[in-house]
Amino acid sequence: MGLTIGIIGLPNVGKSTLLNALCHAGAEASNYPFCTIERNQGAVPVPDERLERLAAILKPAEVIPSTITFIDIAGLVKGASRGEGLGNKFLHHVREATALAHVLRCFEDENVSHLYGTVDPLLDIEIVETELFLADVDRVERWLAKERTKAKAVREDERRDLHFLESVLAALSRGERIAAGSVPAPERPLFDELGLLTSKPRLLVLNTGYEDPAGAGAACRRVVEAAGVESVFVFSARMEEELDALSGEERRAFEEELGLDGLAKSRFIEKCHDLLGLVRYYTTAHGKLQAWSIPRGTPAPAAAGRIHGDMERGFVRAEVMSFEHIVQYGTRAAVHQHGLLRTEGHDYEIRDGDVVHYLFNPS
């Protein structure tokens, strides 16, 4: 499925409403637990001013933005790590996601029940985080049991995986998140295979109501104080969904009345793009201008492979120019004439804003 954002949280916090606000997915958003039993999902275009400027300059026949896939995952409850509620299905779907958007209810509405009786986003965080940690501990313990059996037949210096798993279990038991970047290179393949839920990049989404669209209320402030401003995003899902359905003039009038600087949707999608650690680059071929989002540090052949496997297998070189140079000189030929069209090989890592033409031998 590629790079995805899993939308998680307790039941009735607004996960399906968030998905609807992002992509008009039509996901059912009802007031009862486990409304989302199977996943709803949608591919959302990433707002891209550079793509718009390139399109105005190059005038392609077709313009295709990059997208992020958002997945609405069934609500979690206490005991999910033991399979309660929809626990097993929930945890499986969370494990498939690249990063997580954890929706927290920060609105009061007597018509929408709260599973635990009161609006308390910090308690919601504790419940979900506890279940994710317990699921990770269980997973590592299972791996350790297998490694301990294998270790009986090997020398001490061949038990590296066993020792690494023991250190991971100890960290999880202390409630510590393990960042992928902190794992030594020799252990990284095993760590990636573990797929720890608590190691996934995470954004806390403060779902507010009409009474507090900017997230200035006490509930939101408590989360920001506990988690830090960089880890949170205020998003009034119901309001965004309803405003997005209005005509431009009507919407602007409501935004002015509510003191809003436009819809938050575009900023949220950009925040999620950054959360995934992506860079965005562009290709032009056959009258088509297309944006691509890839992990930072992706080599040119692997980036070409995202377009088509034959392009990676037969990769010869990449001809690269920067977005800034295209804007400055207007055409590929002019960029070339100024000596700014670069030829890059297999080791080149695609950079944010590159405009790339791949040369490859078809298989």
Band (pLDDT 50/70/90 cuts) for residue 252 is confident
Total domain count, the chain:
3
85 shares its domain with 215? yes
Cβ-based neighbours of 172, under 8 Å, separated by 6 or more = 133, 136, 137, 140, 178, 196, 198
DSSP string covering 264-277: SHHHHHHHHHHHTT
24 shares its domain with 85? yes
Q: Which amino acid is at 285?
A: A
Band (pLDDT 50/70/90 cuts) for residue 151 is confident
Within a domain: residue 289? no
Alpha helices in the chain (DSSP H): 15-23, 49-58, 87-96, 121-151, 160-173, 188-194, 218-227, 237-244, 248-258, 265-275, 300-307, 309-313, 323-329, 332-337
CATH code of the domain in which 227 resides:
3.40.50.300
Band (pLDDT 50/70/90 cuts) for residue 39 is low
For position 153, what pLDDT does the model report? 66
214 shares its domain with 305? no
For position 66, what pLDDT does the model report? 94
Q: pTM value?
A: 0.86
**In the predicted structure, residue 110 carries a pLDDT above the cut 70:** yes
Task: Tell me the torsion sign for CA atoms 225, 229, 231, 235.
Answer: positive
> What three-state secondary structure class fits 255?
helix
Report the chain's mean pLDDT, rounded to a whole number: 88
**Pairing relation of β-strands 4-8 and 99-105?**
parallel
For position 36, what pLDDT does the model report? 43
> What three-state secondary structure class fits 148?
helix
Within a domain: residue 210? yes
15 shares its domain with 105? yes
Within a domain: residue 261? yes
82 shares its domain with 211? yes
CB neighbours of residue 202 within 10 Å: 20
**In the predicted structure, residue 145 carries a pLDDT above the cut 70:** yes
Of the three residues 273, 307, 336, the one that is the final residue of a domain is 273
pLDDT 10s digits, 205-242 = 999 988 888 888 999 999 999 999 999 999 999 998 88
Within a domain: residue 288? no
For position 361, what pLDDT does the model report? 93
Please state, for a pLDDT cut of 70, what percent of the chain lies above it.
89
**Pairing relation of β-strands 4-8 and 67-72?**
parallel
87 shares its domain with 170? no
Within a domain: residue 60? no
Band (pLDDT 50/70/90 cuts) for residue 34 is very low
**In the predicted structure, residue 358 carries a pLDDT above the cut 90:** yes
245 shares its domain with 320? no
**Pairing relation of β-strands 232-234 and 202-207?**
parallel
Within a domain: residue 77? yes
CATH code of the domain in which 308 resides:
3.10.20.30
Within a domain: residue 10? yes
**In the predicted structure, residue 37 carries a pLDDT above the cut 90:** no
Cβ-based neighbours of 318, under 8 Å, separated by 6 or more = 300, 304, 343, 344, 345, 348, 356, 357, 358, 359
pLDDT 10s digits, 260-316 = 777 899 999 999 999 999 999 999 999 999 999 999 999 999 999 999 999 999 999
Of the three residues 199, 217, 251, the one that is the final residue of a domain is 199
**Pairing relation of β-strands 315-322 and 354-360?**
antiparallel
CATH code of the domain in which 137 resides:
1.10.150.300
272 beta partners: none
Of the three residues 141, 164, 199, the one that is the final residue of a domain is 199
Band (pLDDT 50/70/90 cuts) for residue 35 is very low
The H-or-E segment that residue 62 falls in is: strand 62-64
More confident residue, 93 or 133: 133
34 shares its domain with 87? yes
93 shares its domain with 208? yes
75 shares its domain with 9? yes
For position 2, what pLDDT does the model report? 67
Within a domain: residue 282? no
Longest distance between any two alpha carbons in the chain, whole Å: 73
213 shares its domain with 345? no
Q: Which of 45-54, 89-98, 214-223 has the lowest mean pLDDT?
A: 89-98
**Pairing relation of β-strands 354-360 and 4-8?**
unpaired
Domain that holds residue 244: 4-47+67-120+201-273
Q: Calculate mean pLDDT across residues 27-55.
A: 72
95 shares its domain with 151? no
Band (pLDDT 50/70/90 cuts) for residue 32 is very low
> Exposed, middle or buried by CB within 10 Å (0-12, 13-18, 19+), for 154?
exposed
Q: Calculate mean pLDDT across residues 314-337.
A: 96
> What three-state secondary structure class fits 332?
helix
More confident residue, 135 or 77: 135
Q: Which amino acid is at 265?
A: K
